[in-house]
Amino acid sequence: MLLKMPLEKNYIEPADLVLVTQGDQMGQIGSTNTYRILKVE
């Protein structure tokens, strides 16, 4: 589960929205290709 550690450390809580980004080219600024908004359950 992607959000397990942040939940355990109380950085986030159920019903929060979290933005997850992904870039295909590592180390290159401005290369975000994908993002998702996840609701914490």
Instruction: List average pLDDT for each run of 10 residues in the chain, which is 41 residues long.
Output: 92 96 75 86 91
- pLDDT value of position 32: 66
**pTM reported for the whole predicted model:** 0.67
CA separation for the pair 35, 22 (Å, rounded): 6
Write the secondary structure of the chain as one string of H (helix), E (strand) and C (coil): CCCHHHHHCCCCCCCCEEEEEEECCCCCCCCEEEEEEEECC
- pLDDT value of position 23: 76
State phi, psi for 39 to the nearest 5 degrees.
Answer: -95, 125
